[in-house]
Amino acid sequence: MGDSEMAVFGEAASYLRKSEKERLEAQNKPFDAKNSCFVHDDKELYVKGLIVSRDGGKVTVNTDDGRTVTAKEEQINPQNPPKFDKIEDMAMLTHLNEASVLYNLKERYAAWMIYTYSGLFCVTVNPYKWLPVYNPEVVAGYRGKKRQEAPPHIFSISDNAYQFMLQDRENQSILITGESGAGKTVNTKRVIQYFATIAAIGDSGKKKEQSNSMKSQGTLEDQIIQANPLLEAFGNAKTVRNDNSSRFGKFIRIHFGTTGKLSSADIETYLLEKSRVTFQLSAERSYHIFYQILTNKKPDVVEMLLLTTNPYDYSFISQGEIAVKSIDDEEELMATDNAIDILGFSQDEKIGIYKMTGAVMHHGNMRFKQKQREEQAEPDGTEVADKIGYLMGLNSADLLKALCYPRVKVGNEFVTKGQTVQQVYNAIGALSKSVFEKLFLWMVTRINQQLDTKQPRQYFIGVLDIAGFEIFDYNSLEQLCINFTNEKLQQFFNHHMFVLEQEEYKKEGIEWEFIDFGMDLAACIELIEKPMGIFSILEEECMFPKATDTSFKNKLYDQHLGKCKNFEKPKPGKGKAEAHFSLVHYAGTVDYNISGWLDKNKDPLNETVVGLYQKSSVKLLAFLYSSYSATDGKSAAEASGKGKKKKGSSFQTVSALFRENLNKLMTNLRSTHPHFVRCLIPNETKTPGTMENHLIIHQLRCNGVLEGIRICRKGFPSRILYADFKQRYKVLNASAIPDGQFIDSKKASEKLLGSIDVDHTQYKFGHTKVFFKAGLLGTLEEMRDDKLAQLITRTQAQCRGFLMRVEFKKMVERRDAIFIIQYNVRSFMNVKHWPWMKLYFKIKPLLKSAETEKEMANMKEEFEKTKEALTKSDARRKELEEKMVVLLQEKNDLLLQVQSVRVSSKQAYFTRNYFKCNISIVQNFQFNRKERA
């Protein structure tokens, strides 16, 4: 698209693509293809430079910042020509390496072009500022455009998914991954905004029908968009890197009818971070909803929940920060409250949501003390328990008794078990996390019910927003689950890319030893999920009451250490957090700490308190725990009483539930055509326009972009149609393709490549294209540039030679003219005083006077002839005038005769004669004029 076509994007055009002027300047920029390079640097990772010399395996480079460095050959990466600067698809780079990818992203980010393609990926970098790239005219500009027809953008990915769905009649998915703060949630919102906009255009009649059938005042488009504020309030929190980080993964399915009209939507969630309800780091805070309520923007809610407006009064939510500069909690509370209404929650349900949220805050204020001379815990005051009882519809005395003296089943009997103070606090924390999680999952279910419009649905586009690969100083069970998810997603991408490549090679008839790149990750995945893998051993240990973290660690070491190359002992380091084992993932080696994994995985609840919840007078709480009996010990007892117990029916561990959800997700994704979006954090300080090289490369490795490039390099990433190849590279050896006769483009390409001095194992011929290994196209480009330079130099030499010969001829002619002038001047000076010459000078003027007399005689003769002709002409004129008078007299006489005759049949006769007479007169007159002339 040229500058004129880019005008449809309005003010966003400069943020999407380079101008034509900038592209031309880049193409004409001087460039040393053989010596320009990237060299490894400890501080900047890679810097640009120019190779000065090579000595064995050492290379001396002058860097652009004025230093001279010596590096090993493997630390040198070739640069791409300037015409590839800020390229929109990095897979098209002639030299595909880490440094080229990094600098392309860096230069585009410096120009605020935050979206870039890398093969199948769309890479986006968080700008940390508002850019006008999501305006309505941008949405309209991308509608119906193919990927190659428009600049990279999340809207382009969305529209392509929509068009593929309509054309191929196949479900689509958009996988958005990245670290916390990279912009996953924002891009997910933009995808939903795009579908809600384009799929609802133009159907006003249907829209009206649909709005009448809605259970609340919001249309389906409104409800899909309004699901975000509610989910963000209960599922997003401030982290070290991100003020509005999604602490759960979600897969949003947007369903369409056969014509592409939006029909309904549903949401699946994964891995809500429950631990944040009761614990936050000093630079983080808990879920937004707690702080929104305490702003007192809705005083009636604060009063109903028996709360104060000071977050520090509630220990569960005040362990870190309580305010975020970039978030207006008052405004967000109104948006959340409005979203609850638009999404069709009843008033009782709305009150129930607020009450459960308030009760979770109160739970952190419950206090217990140890009985004298006993380890048994007892309540230290009942005021907080009374508030919780009021909000949750419970008897506070029963609640305190259930916490301090829970009933547990031993054999076929229930016995009362004493609890220590710490055990009671642990139980309160587990219950609070459970209530919040079940409330969140119930809201998701209710949203799905509301978004199900019962309209016919044919296809869906799924949007996956999930945390990317994480490598922290301290990595626990949550990080293993997230990293395992990303390992599976990367395997899915590798396999998908492999399938596409295989189809392309098969279609083109390329002989290639196929490699399923998805198998590269199989060893790590099997280590985690297969029988006797990490999850399997963890679940086995959870079944034994006396199992400990140490016994779990020993089993892992016995089973895998030294037997599986992906399982390692952690390497001790200064300042590193304690770790118990290391896993080698595709993105790097991660050290894991297994402290508390057994408790986290079992996720035990005080079943006596759960029994109280089930009998609560608050319908919402009773409903949240109504199905708990299906997964607790009671169901096991009932099943065993019937004589048979299903495996695992006694309880479902966190890891088992996670694997079940992950398998469902992967099954969903495999049934779709996927599109991949990778979000990047440019720096840790949230500074707009600044990019930290080490951080970017780390993320590119973690999110699979470099893995995708590695796969590209294994095959034939560059491919060109035969006609295009022939036209572009014929200049390398024009004699290989005979002139004046037709030759097929494929045969011409084969002859041309066969006659060029390149490695002939680095390319293959398909049916319609020629395929190249990575780097060979760059070599051909260099050869073409050299050849063009040679041809242009020769052409310039010929042109200059011709022009100089023309100039030389003019110089010779000028010199000869000067010689002639000089000769004549000298001759004149020699004869100037010669008497005969003086006589000549005097006679020469007289010669002119003789000629004058002759001319006068000629003029007199001509005058006489002209005078005679004039006399004859005058005489002829007079004669004709006299004839004219006679004719006019005759005409008048005839008129008198006509008038004297009566009006009768003869009148016509005279009239005809009259006209004939007139005609005769005119003809006669014209004849005379001609004679006269």
Pairing of strands 262-270, 236-237: unpaired
Q: Is 801 annotated in the active site?
A: no
What does the alpha-carbon distance between residue 14 and residue 832 come to, in Å, rounded to a whole number? Answer: 81
What does the alpha-carbon distance between residue 541 and residue 598 come to, in Å, rounded to a whole number? Answer: 7
The two tokens of residue 784 are 């073409």
Which residue in the list 94, 104, 180, 336 is annotated as catalytic? 180
* HSE (side-chain half, CA atoms, 13 Å) at 414: 9
Q: Is 508 annotated in the active site?
A: no
Closest CA to 711 of 469, 516, 523: 516
What does the alpha-carbon distance between residue 557 and residue 595 come to, in Å, rounded to a whole number? Answer: 16
Count Cβ atoms within 10 A of the Cβ of residue 129 and give its class: 0-12 exposed, 13-18 middle, 19 or more buried.
exposed
Which residue's entry shows tokens 């000595």?
A: 55
Which residue in the list 185, 269, 318, 453 is annotated as catalytic? 185
Q: Quickly list DSSP for 249-303.
A: EEEEEEEE-TTS-EEEEEEEEE---GGGGT---TT---BHHHHHHTT-SSHHHHH
Query: 368: part of which helix (H) or strand (E)?
Result: strand 368-370
Q: How many CB atoms sit inside 10 A of residue 767's CB?
A: 10
Q: Is 185 annotated in the active site?
A: yes
Q: How many CB atoms sit inside 10 A of residue 386's CB?
A: 17
Give the chain's end-to-end CA distance (angstroms, integer): 73
Count Cβ atoms within 10 A of the Cβ of residue 848 and give its class: 0-12 exposed, 13-18 middle, 19 or more buried.
exposed
Helix segments in 630-744, DSSP class H: 633-641, 654-670, 693-702, 705-714, 722-729
Which residue in the list 141, 344, 393, 468 is annotated as catalytic? 468
What does the alpha-carbon distance between residue 514 and residue 516 come to, in Å, rounded to a whole number? Answer: 7
Which residue in the list 49, 141, 178, 181 is annotated as catalytic? 181
Which residue in the list 80, 187, 245, 286 is annotated as catalytic? 245
Q: Is 352 annotated in the active site?
A: no
What does the alpha-carbon distance between residue 884 and residue 887 come to, in Å, rounded to a whole number? Answer: 5
Q: Is 468 annotated in the active site?
A: yes
Query: 891: part of which helix (H) or strand (E)?
Result: helix 835-900
Q: Is 849 annotated in the active site?
A: no
Count Cβ atoms within 10 A of the Cβ of residue 666 and give its class: 0-12 exposed, 13-18 middle, 19 or more buried.
middle
What does the alpha-carbon distance between residue 496 and residue 119 come to, in Å, rounded to a whole number? Answer: 12
Q: Could you tell me if 170 and 228 are in contact, meaning their C-beta atoms sit under 8 angstroms apart?
A: no
The two tokens of residue 312 are 């520090």
Q: Is 144 annotated in the active site?
A: no
Distance of alpha carbon 30 from the chain centroid: 31
Helices 693-702 and 98-110: crossing angle in degrees, nearest 10, is 120
The partner residues of 677 in beta bridges, in order of sequence, read 122, 176
Contacts 24+ apart (CB under 8 A), 838-847: none
Say which DSSP state 572 is in: P
* HSE (side-chain half, CA atoms, 13 Å) at 325: 3
Which residue in the list 116, 118, 246, 703 is annotated as catalytic? 246
Which residue in the list 97, 118, 197, 242 is annotated as catalytic? 242
Which residue's entry shows tokens 């800020």?
A: 86
Pairing of strands 249-256, 407-410: unpaired
Helix segments in 49-135, DSSP class H: 98-110
Closest CA to 325 of 407, 388, 236, 242: 242
Contacts of 816 (CB under 8 A, 6+ apart): none
Query: 76: part of which helix (H) or strand (E)?
Result: strand 76-78
What does the alpha-carbon distance between residue 309 and residue 330 come to, in Å, rounded to a whole number? Answer: 12
Q: Is 245 annotated in the active site?
A: yes
Closest CA to 749 of 766, 761, 762: 766
Catalytic residues: 180-181, 185, 242, 245-246, 468, 470
